[in-house]
A and B are shown apart, each in its own frame.
Chain A
């Protein structure tokens, strides 16, 4: 049981980003630069553009060993390199450096329903998807009934999948992949879809695959409970590197506690942001109305969400719009925008901060993610998802000393309200 099944050594993957790959990858550009190449060095402008192509290391020097029958979770922020690592493991893309030794068949579930054809029926898609994932026809035939039973779509077996609900679609896709019987199963965030009932079933199936059948499962998820339930071991990635590995509880805890600090500290170095960059957000924090930094937002209190900015070379940037989104579990709870509440033109220069005052903080206790967007008259300047996290704690929002009780379903935003009674007759 303790035999090593995956051996990753100094694995790196480099993408070239910038002008050469994003815009000028057409044939014309190739022909053009072939003609121009001998003279390119004469033009300083051309050289500058060339230098703008950057190497981006999506995965850098990752070494890890995974044993047979292990269930390993990979966690980390968006853009930490988790998905790229999975793509490398499942041989979709080639590493730039380093190597991977795989002792067994790999099946990857990077997106459910890959290879499903909307026009084909459920039955036809089971065969097609199975074949794409590497199953033989005989194998699929043997598993067919089991797959159908697991997916609970018997009645719709001969209906084109384009008429399926998204839940049915996901169920069928997962069912095919789960019956693949690979030695190594790679799963990326598939549990984010489907209803709670089916999620539970999938988790059970994965547990079964790993424990009963002694297969190896690698799972990437942002859902910590799923990771904690399933995985015995965890890898924490950040900026393409494997920064920690060990027991799940230990890793998840340190990710959760350090998460907030890590996120804001690393904000300046985040490479997954988009935009021109004439203005950049350098810090995100919570303050009280007097401007003192606080660590938690308390429901019902006046809270200031503060965005620190810096302009490129201290130049002035005109007609700015600053936006912040407060989100949780991929759901956007509310957003703030400097342009929505005010008609004054906003210009910034050098360093500074924009403070958004939120009276009566309307969210219940929990951890929320911050996405931000800065635009100017030139377009998008800086945009980043999952830029930081903020913690909220329950407070006396209604001034009655009462709260929605914990885990109250369906409450997302707290709204001040009152009621009156009118009796008729």
Chain B
């Protein structure tokens, strides 16, 4: 017989066990979000392909044709796609998980389940979009007859890093949003500025050496450089950025989980 004790402070000793019991809810919530997203749309799932294509087209035009900020030795759309892929994933995951708890307020104040499921499901939903974009990019690679280097085997590691960044950031932002709706205004700001302080539409070598350390504190710098390295074979001019990203990501996750767990108990009271 599973006995549960609810008590102030240590009410959730069985938290991780619960999380396991509710593991299917991750899937169900992500499934719901994907289903709902394309209901009552005319072109439906085609949006998942349309959005990255359009973004790549515009970024290529602006940064490669007008700005000439992209190295010449790769097809420009491919180079930009490599940066946009993880960035778009992070940006959507961050924004969606940020608002996820608040938009599921009804559920949170009426039913018990580990609240962690909600923002994580949003990250999973965005990850599905990411995978669709990956397929499109493989189409680009075939079109340009581009053969990826052996380093492509490392791609899953960088995908994991991207996922971890979105996960940690999502925990922070969603928990903060429950209490301080101010973050509703901060999220678009982060997403917009992040695009410029990450090497999405230009290459890392353009960042002057004295700024590279500070620049690398943005965990997406390591992730995006990793994608370029694994897919295109573009060397990272500042390999230390991988390590820095790794440390920053771990830090975000550890503090994110701690903060989330701490505030989670009062979600139902303040949401």
Residues of A within 8 A of B (CB): 15, 21, 25-28, 30, 87-88, 90-106, 108, 110-111, 114-115, 117, 119-120, 124, 127-128, 131-134, 136-137, 160
Distance (whole angstroms) from the CB of A109 to the closest CB of chain B: 9
A28 & B182 in contact (Cβ 8 Å cutoff):
yes
Q: Which residue of A27, A87, A90, A131 is within 8 Å of B182 (Cβ)? A: A27
B268 & A128 in contact (Cβ 8 Å cutoff):
no
A110 & B8 in contact (Cβ 8 Å cutoff):
no
A131 & B6 in contact (Cβ 8 Å cutoff):
no
Distance (whole angstroms) from the CB of B21 to the closest CB of chain A: 7
**Known contacts A94-B8, A95-B6; A115 and B111 CB within 8 A of each other:** yes
Q: Is there a chain A Cβ closer than 8 Å to B73's Cβ? A: no
**Known contacts A88-B6, A94-B265; A133 and B111 CB within 8 A of each other:** yes
B21 & A102 in contact (Cβ 8 Å cutoff):
no
In the complex, chain B residues whose CB is within 8 Å of the CB of A134: 21-22, 113
Q: Which residue of A25, A95, A96, A103 is within 8 Å of B179 (Cβ)? A: A25
A124 & B25 in contact (Cβ 8 Å cutoff):
no
In the complex, chain B residues whose CB is within 8 Å of the CB of A15: 269
Q: Is there a chain A Cβ closer than 8 Å to B43's Cβ? A: no
Q: Is there a chain A Cβ closer than 8 Å to B2's Cβ? A: yes
Distance (whole angstroms) from the CB of B69 to the closest CB of chain A: 36
Q: Which residue of A110, A119, A136 is within 8 Å of B39 (Cβ)? A: A119
Kindly state the separation between the CA atoms of A90 and B111 in the bound complex, as whole angstroms: 7
**Known contacts A27-B180, A97-B8; A110 and B111 CB within 8 A of each other:** yes
In the complex, chain A residues whose CB is within 8 Å of the CB of B183: 27
The chain A residue sitting closest to B181, CB to CB, is A26
In the complex, chain A residues whose CB is within 8 Å of the CB of B110: 92, 108, 110-111, 114-115
In the complex, chain B residues whose CB is within 8 Å of the CB of A98: 7-8
In the complex, chain A residues whose CB is within 8 Å of the CB of B21: 134
Distance (whole angstroms) from the CB of A106 to the closest CB of chain B: 8
Q: Which residue of B2, B106, B113, B266 is within 8 Å of A94 (Cβ)? A: B266
Distance (whole angstroms) from the CB of A27 to the closest CB of chain B: 4
In the complex, chain B residues whose CB is within 8 Å of the CB of A99: 5-8
In the complex, chain A residues whose CB is within 8 Å of the CB of B32: 117, 120, 124, 128
Q: Is there a chain A Cβ closer than 8 Å to B112's Cβ? A: yes
Q: Is there a chain A Cβ closer than 8 Å to B145's Cβ? A: no
In the complex, chain A residues whose CB is within 8 Å of the CB of B180: 25-27, 30
B28 & A128 in contact (Cβ 8 Å cutoff):
yes
**Known contacts A91-B11, A108-B112, A133-B111; A25 and B28 CB within 8 A of each other:** no
The chain B residue sitting closest to A30, CB to CB, is B180
Kindly state the separation between the CA atoms of A131 and B6 in the bound complex, as whole angstroms: 22
Q: Is there a chain A Cβ closer than 8 Å to B109's Cβ? A: yes
A102 & B3 in contact (Cβ 8 Å cutoff):
yes
11 more A-B residue pairs beyond the given contacts A98-B7, A110-B111, A124-B35, with a C-beta to C-beta distance below 8 A: A91-B4, A92-B110, A94-B8, A98-B8, A99-B5, A99-B6, A102-B3, A102-B4, A132-B107, A133-B111, A134-B21
Distance (whole angstroms) from the CB of A99 to the closest CB of chain B: 4
Task: Mark interface residues in B245-257 (1 if CB within 8 Å of A CB, else 0).
Answer: 0000000000000
A137 & B24 in contact (Cβ 8 Å cutoff):
yes
Q: Is there a chain A Cβ closer than 8 Å to B1's Cβ? A: yes
**Known contacts A27-B180, A131-B25; A92 and B109 CB within 8 A of each other:** yes
Task: Mark interface residues in B100-122 (1 if CB within 8 Å of A CB, else 0).
Answer: 00000011111111000000000
